[in-house]
Structure 1
């Protein structure tokens, strides 16, 4: 089975040969960083339509984690084009971070369209290093479709715990690895190398729930779902929140 996977990975990889040639010339990374926000803006429309009810239910409990002042302070890592703003309660103070500065034009547009929120200055920073954010300074950290492409999930979760106040929560919605005994996992392995290369490090085979379980949160509510997408390798998801 291992040899079959390798052969099929190679065949799929041939479809991305032009991108590999650009990478050999040192042109792919800067080009992909510019193109990726446009791709995500398009994909986010369909994703939000199919996942709207899940997101609405997930974020319904956000007001429960407002701090002593009564105002909810949210920091969203990998904010991208700002697709979650519509689900945040009126008056929430939001800080957005993303590693890719090319998202800024779309993010600012989304912020203008969601004027029921208060926005702090956007931060261009990797989720593994949020040194500009003070310890225990936010009520909620949000991550949707971010941990799949993080270089080091353990370090991201360590930073999340650092910046959360005690009793604050980490909300997450991520696509994950399928059960290893399924055909979905078989095809995830086949597509994974090319998918990761073309989509800015996105990992189809990451068992993110295991990282969350190891992150020393005091409480966690986590749910596995089969998201309503036609392409099965992207369907396994987890969602929920973990309390510091």
Structure 2
């Protein structure tokens, strides 16, 4: 099986040689940062249509974590185009963090379409380094389709716990590795190297639930599901929330 995976990866690598060459020359990262927001704009529409009920379920109790003023102070890590804005409660104050500055103009458009919330600021930073966000300043932190691509899930989750106030909550929705010994898992293994290169570091084979279970939250509500998505490779999902 390992040899078959190696051969198929090699064949895919040959087909994707131009992209690997651009990456070797240091050009692919620049290209990817430019086109990825446009891809995510299209992807988000389809994803939200197919996952709307799951997102509504996920964020249904978000307002319960609002501070004494009743207004929820929310930090979204890896905000992308603002795909989650429509699911946030009215009056929510959102600080957005993303390492790609090219998402900012898409965020401004999303805010204009979601007048029920207020964008506090957009911070260009990786999720593993939130030094521009104060300790204990967020009632809730949201991270969807991000743990698949960060350099270190452990460092990101440490930063999440730092910026959350005591009793605050971390919400997540992530695609993960399929069950071992399934065809889906086999093809995830085959396609993972090329997939990471093409989709800005996205990893098909991460068992992200393990990092969440080890992150020292006081409470963890986590569900596994087969998401109703068109792409079989990313159907295995986890979602839920963790309380500091």
Give TM-score, length-normalised by structure 1: 0.98
- Counterpart in 1 of 2:165? 165
- Counterpart in 2 of 1:210? 210
The one-character-per-residue Cα deviations of 1:126-171 (angstroms, maximum 9, x if unpaired) are 0000001111111000000011000000000000000001110000
CA RMSD in angstroms, aligned pairs only: 0.9
Compute the displacement of 1:3 (Å): 0.6
Where 2:121 maps in the other structure, the secondary structure is: coil
Counterpart check, 1:233 vs 2:233 = yes
Instruction: Report 1:143-222 matches (<5 A).
Output: 143-222=143-222
Which stretches in structure 2 are left out of the alignment for 5+ residues? none
- Counterpart in 1 of 2:243? 243
- Counterpart in 2 of 1:118? 118
Distance 2:132 2:75 in 1: 12
Instruction: Report 1:122-141 matches (<5 A).
Output: 122-141=122-141
The one-character-per-residue Cα deviations of 1:32-52 (angstroms, maximum 9, x if unpaired) are 110111111111111110000
Distance 2:225 2:14 in 1: 32
Which stretches in structure 1 are left out of the alignment for 5+ residues? none
Where 1:33 maps in the other structure, the secondary structure is: helix
Counterpart check, 1:22 vs 2:29 = no
Give TM-score, length-normalised by structure 2: 0.98
Counterpart check, 1:61 vs 2:26 = no
The one-character-per-residue Cα deviations of 1:174-222 (angstroms, maximum 9, x if unpaired) are 0001111211111100010000011110000000000000000000110
Compute the displacement of 1:118 (Å): 1.4
- Counterpart in 2 of 1:70? 70
Counterpart check, 1:45 vs 2:45 = yes
Distance 2:25 2:161 in 1: 40
The one-character-per-residue Cα deviations of 1:91-119 (angstroms, maximum 9, x if unpaired) are 01110000000111111110111111111
Distance 1:91 1:70 in 2: 9
Tell me which stretches of 4 or more aligned residues in structure 1 moved more than 6 Å.
none
Compute the displacement of 1:26 (Å): 2.0
- Counterpart in 1 of 2:93? 93
Where 2:97 maps in the other structure, the secondary structure is: strand
Distance 1:110 1:181 in 2: 41
Distance 1:80 1:231 in 2: 20
- Counterpart in 1 of 2:108? 108
